[in-house]
Structure 1
Amino acid sequence: MAWNEPGKPGQDPWGNSGNGNRPNDSRKPNGPNDPDLQEILKKAQDFLGGSNDKFGGGKGSFLVVVALIIIWLLSGIYTVDSPERGVVKQFGAYSEQTTAGLHWHIPWPIETVTIVNVDQIRTAEIGYRSDSRNRNGSVPSEALMLSKDENIVDIRIAVQYKVSDAKKYLFDVAVPDMTLRDVTESALREVVGRNTMDFVLTEGRDEVVNKVRNLTQEKLDNYNTGLMITSLNLQDAQPPEQVQDAFADVVKSREDRERLINEAEAYSNDILPKARGQAARQIEEARAYHDQVIARATGQANRFTSILSEYTKAPKVTRERLYIDAISGVLGATSKVFVGSDSGSNLLYLPLDKMVTGGAGNSVPYRIPADAAQSSSNTTNNTNTQSNTQQKGNIRDYLRTRELR
């Protein structure tokens, strides 16, 4: 019968009457229409305590314990992503290292797992802080260093690194990230202290970075930090602020010197090839002239030898031939000819320039015996229609005849 069945007014779900008392219960009620809390607690204790009542007794308690054990065992399941490593610790000591995938370990408090991302690129800033609110983000206690020549240099570098060994990273060093910062600063001070200020600030930047990186990595490996430097960048290198103006003047002077040197080298590269070309051309011209003079002299010597041979065979004819050739060469180069006798009278003028070209030319005086002048005069009177070449031929024939006579 339902608790609110008609005919039983005032009865509650626990079988109590409207006056708040349970059946066969002489205790006072807790309140109007309220259940007895102590009774509820008693039933729960009976359920968990193993009494043989209608709620199941010890069987229910066993199921609860089994469920708790299962939940505890399932809490040991964990997942490791591909860029991560799982380090299992048993009672705080290193047990094993797991890679990507689904794994299980004995749940806490026996074993615990620490997940370490070995592909994450971490950054350490030496000499400055990018999130700092002070001026330029500078940290003078880290940035100011003493060089070999006892000058102060303000250097700021950024180190990018990642975890190479998760076990060493977690167990061998207390604070590996802070250790890296300290080791990098120490290596940077050592390298700067071995070089001059000008070298560090100018042409030695790349060398300084390489030396600091190698020295830092070497110390990190000796300390078993499990860290590996991926890159080390020199953010800024300059003198202290108090002397920056003077140093800027020095840098400008150095740049001007380099500019002038480059301009001089460019001018040298432009002039030297031209000079070498001109020298080579003059050398070739000299060699050509040398060969030409030698060839001409050789030809003249050979010609003289051949003439001498012919002169030995016929001296008279050879002399006549040479004389005629010489006179032909002389008369052939002028347009005016004067013909005279040995006595100085009867000088004959032959206007060859007017008869040939009608212009003026050079004059060449030449004297011959009187009989030759008379013959030439008679010949000239009859040569109004003759050409200059024919007159020269007549003179040449007369001279040949006179010599042969």
Structure 2
Amino acid sequence: MAWNEPGKDDKDPWKNKGGNNQGPPDLDDLLKDLGNKFGGVFGGKSSGGGGKSFSSVGIGLALVVAVLVYAFSGFYTIKEAEKGIVLRFGQFAGTVEPGLRWKWTFIDRIIPVDVQTTRDLPASGFMLTQDENVVRVEMQIQYRVVEPRDYVFSVTNADDSLSQSLDSALRYVVGHSRMDDVLTSGREQVRQAVWSELESIIERYSLGIIIVDVNFKDARPPEEVKDSFDDAIAAQEDEIRFIREAEAYAKGIEPRARGRVKRMEQEALAYKEQTVLDAQGAVARFEKILPEYQAAPEVTRQRLYIGTMEKVYSNTSKVMVDVDGGNNMMYLPLDKIIQQHSTQQRSVTIPNSTLNNTNTNPPSSPAISGRSDRFNSGRD
């Protein structure tokens, strides 16, 4: 039931004790009432003067408390990895460095921005290549905020704008590349191209962001043709491996061949020098013999013949002996005789009668025996 229902005047909350309905009490009267009640607490009296004193002291105390609360509410802290953007009445007023700071409460607003942490942003999807093949590419970039004001105010959401720019750059580069390059040998070129294209896009928007690194995580064909592409990639890897092995083999063979060529050149030069020196020695020897030959031709000729025969017989182990100045020749296999002497460890003596007997031949040589018989038959 409402308090102001007709006939219920005794429930009026604003009805005073005197019974006169005068409406809500005055605020000054209420404060004066409170001053009279608590005047003794502040050293005053419950008279009109005491109420006035209490009002001035209470207001002063309230102002002091309000000032202290306002002053303490203005302190804030900027972390070490952050920078603070100061907005005064909603307008940019500068940036503040890390540490304990103070601001005007209800006037300044502080927006902290992390400028040291490296953030990650992935991008992936199915894309169409230049040769009209579909490939799924996964890439991840790392970036950092370098200009807090541009990061907060240049666009509505810098992270979202960067994500859309990355997707646009990735699709542009993949769309201008062949599928084989994206999957195999051209991955590094694609990564560099995406990095360059992304930087050129975000430069126009002044996002206050710097790209630290771009990682090409994965690139694979659709599952329906994955096995065929795996075989093709394995074949390309084998080709590269064989090429590397061939290059290594060539690098190992070439130095050895060059060494052999150098050795042959040195041997040829040495042979040339030796031939020249031998020829010069022969010329010098001939020049020394010529005067002797001119002085005694027959003696010199005989001496040269004997010296030549000594050289010839010194290099052979077979001796042909003319028996009695006739036509019969006897062959002495000195090599067989020396070998038999070394194996039996005893001396072998050849008597003079053996030399005079043309019918006797060494038993170790059947061919020579036949020749001696032939010589003997002719002699008879």
Q: TM-score interval w.r.t. the shorter chain?
A: 0.5 to 0.7
Task: Provide the residue aligned with 2:114 in structure 1.
Answer: 117
2:151 pairs with 169, 175, 190, which one? 169
Mark the runs of 5 or more structure 2 residues left unpaired by the alignment: 1-16, 20-24, 40-46, 342-351, 357-380
1:337–1:352 Cα contact (<8 Å) kept: no
From the superposition, tell whether residues 325 and 118 of structure 1 become closer, same or farther in structure 2 (CA, over 3 Å): closer
Of the structure 1 ranges 81-90 and 311-320, higher mean CA displacement relative to structure 2 is found in 311-320
From the superposition, tell whether residues 295 and 47 of structure 1 become closer, same or farther in structure 2 (CA, over 3 Å): same
TM-score (norm 2): 0.68
Task: Provide the residue aligned with 1:338 in structure 2.
Answer: 322
What SS does structure 1 have at the residue aligned with 2:130?
coil
From the superposition, tell whether residues 100 and 267 of structure 1 become closer, same or farther in structure 2 (CA, over 3 Å): closer
2:217 pairs with 195, 211, 235, which one? 235
2:32–2:48 Cα contact (<8 Å) kept: no
From the superposition, tell whether residues 353 and 86 of structure 1 become closer, same or farther in structure 2 (CA, over 3 Å): closer
2:82 pairs with 81, 84, 88, which one? 84
Say whether residues 1:197 and 2:179 are aligned partners: yes
Task: Provide the residue aligned with 2:194 in structure 1.
Answer: 212
Partner Cα distance (1:279, 1:285) in 2 = 10
What SS does structure 2 have at the residue aligned with 1:125?
strand
1:159–1:233 Cα contact (<8 Å) kept: yes
Partner Cα distance (1:124, 1:297) in 2 = 86
> What one-letter code is carried by the residue in structure 2 that aligns with 1:98?
V
Higher helix share: 2
Instruction: Name the % identity.
Output: 35
2:35–2:50 Cα contact (<8 Å) kept: no
Task: Provide the residue aligned with 2:243 in structure 1.
Answer: 261
1:84–1:117 Cα contact (<8 Å) kept: yes
1:353–1:359 Cα contact (<8 Å) kept: no
Task: Provide the residue aligned with 2:307 in structure 1.
Answer: 325
> What one-letter code is carried by the residue in structure 1 that aligns with 2:122?
E
Partner Cα distance (2:64, 2:312) in 1 = 145
4+ residue runs over 4 A deviation: 42-45, 48-51, 326-336, 347-354, 356-360
1:223 pairs with 202, 205, 230, which one? 205
Partner Cα distance (1:62, 1:164) in 2 = 48
1:160–1:230 Cα contact (<8 Å) kept: yes
Task: Provide the residue aligned with 2:66 in structure 1.
Answer: 68
Task: Provide the residue aligned with 2:13 in structure 1.
Answer: none
TM-score (norm 1): 0.64
From the superposition, tell whether residues 348 and 177 of structure 1 become closer, same or farther in structure 2 (CA, over 3 Å): closer
Partner Cα distance (1:54, 1:144) in 2 = 85
What SS does structure 2 have at the residue aligned with 1:174?
coil
What SS does structure 2 have at the residue aligned with 1:87?
strand
From the superposition, tell whether residues 102 and 327 of structure 1 become closer, same or farther in structure 2 (CA, over 3 Å): closer
Q: Please list, as runs of the form range in 1=range in 2, the aligned pairs for 1:263-282 lying within 5 A after superposition.
A: 263-282=245-264
From the superposition, tell whether residues 219 and 46 of structure 1 become closer, same or farther in structure 2 (CA, over 3 Å): farther
1:86–1:99 Cα contact (<8 Å) kept: yes
Partner Cα distance (1:312, 1:305) in 2 = 11
What SS does structure 2 have at the residue aligned with 1:340?
coil
1:146–1:152 Cα contact (<8 Å) kept: yes
Instruction: Please list the CA deviations of residues 222-280 of structure 1 after superposition, one character each: whole Å capped at 9, or x if unmatched.
Output: 21211222222222122222321111111011112122222323333343333333343
Of the structure 1 ranges 151-160 and 44-53, higher mean CA displacement relative to structure 2 is found in 44-53
2:31–2:55 Cα contact (<8 Å) kept: no
Partner Cα distance (1:118, 1:263) in 2 = 49
Q: Cα RMSD between the aligned structures?
A: 3.8
Say whether residues 1:294 and 2:291 are aligned partners: no
> What one-letter code is carried by the residue in structure 1 that aligns with 2:324?
G
> What one-letter code is carried by the residue in structure 2 that aligns with 1:111?
D
From the superposition, tell whether residues 156 and 292 of structure 1 become closer, same or farther in structure 2 (CA, over 3 Å): same
1:47–1:53 Cα contact (<8 Å) kept: no
> What one-letter code is carried by the residue in structure 1 that aligns with 2:91?
A
1:88–1:112 Cα contact (<8 Å) kept: yes
Partner Cα distance (1:204, 1:57) in 2 = 84
Matched positions, count? 307
2:115–2:144 Cα contact (<8 Å) kept: yes
Mark the runs of 5 or more structure 1 residues left unpaired by the alignment: 1-24, 28-37, 128-142, 361-376, 382-405
Say whether residues 1:251 and 2:233 are aligned partners: yes
What SS does structure 2 have at the residue aligned with 1:57?
helix
Partner Cα distance (2:150, 2:171) in 1 = 26
Partner Cα distance (2:267, 2:165) in 1 = 72
From the superposition, tell whether residues 43 and 152 of structure 1 become closer, same or farther in structure 2 (CA, over 3 Å): same
